[in-house]
A and B are shown apart, each in its own frame.
Chain A
Amino acid sequence: DQQVKQNSPSLSVQEGRISILNCDYTNSMFDYFLWYKKYPAEGPTFLISISSIKDKNEDGRFTVFLNKSAKHLSLHIVPSQPGDSAVYFCAAYVTGANSKLTFGKGITLSVRP
């Protein structure tokens, strides 16, 4: 039972354009969401997070939007750069408990020069 879903396995965008990576979840108990970026042969690197009490969080070129009623979140990268090419994982957890992360399968982003 996949509680966090990233239904698009890959995305290709032109350098300078916007990248939009989507994520859906089914467990309504999740109240904290994170995005991680992963290069081959490395561990995931924390990118940005959002609490369920917010609908938007911004950090430089990265913005995460949360739509609780739709159980949907998205990561926007503007402008996209070739160095952003990596696998992006959406993750979620329930605060106040053990905070174990539930991950999606990841999206491979390719930014074309």
Chain B
Amino acid sequence: DTGVSQNPRHKITKRGQNVTFRCDPISEHNRLYWYRQTLGQGPEFLTYFQNEAQLEKSRLLSDRFSAERPKGSFSTLEIQRTEQGDSAMYLCASSLAYLAGVGTDTQYFGPGTRLTVL
């Protein structure tokens, strides 16, 4: 069990550029979540996948954001036309969800990608 990994760990970009982050979850986990954390705040939910299906998106996820999880394995989060307000830590988490809400669904987080938009 190698844990959740995220790449890159840091990304500095200029306003208006596109960026893409990658998350590799724990191998047997069927759920994958994206969160965003800004300074002084707790992580905030952005979106999640059950296998390859994206089942919910937060209102925080504007049209400039898109996430994919092809084949239900790794996931990518793309931000188009970045803005300074997008500067944050982007966290990925994965879990093994039991069927029909039975059991627990503990999420394990990766180290995050720190995005700075200049």
Contact = CB atoms under 8 A, between A and B. Distances in A.
B105 A95 contact: yes
Contacts, number: 68
Interface string A58-80: 00000000000000000000000
Indicate the size class of the contact surface on chain A: 20 to 34
Contacts of A106: 42
Interface of A: 4, 32, 34, 36, 41-46, 49, 51, 89, 91, 93, 95-106
Given A96-B100, A99-B31, A101-B43, 20 more contacts: A4-B42, A32-B105, A34-B106, A34-B107, A36-B109, A43-B6, A43-B109, A43-B111, A44-B91, A45-B109, A46-B107, A46-B108, A46-B109, A95-B101, A96-B101, A99-B95, A99-B105, A101-B107, A104-B42, A105-B41
11 contacts: A43-B91, A43-B93, A44-B91, A44-B109, A45-B109, A91-B42, A96-B101, A99-B48, A99-B97, A101-B35, A105-B40
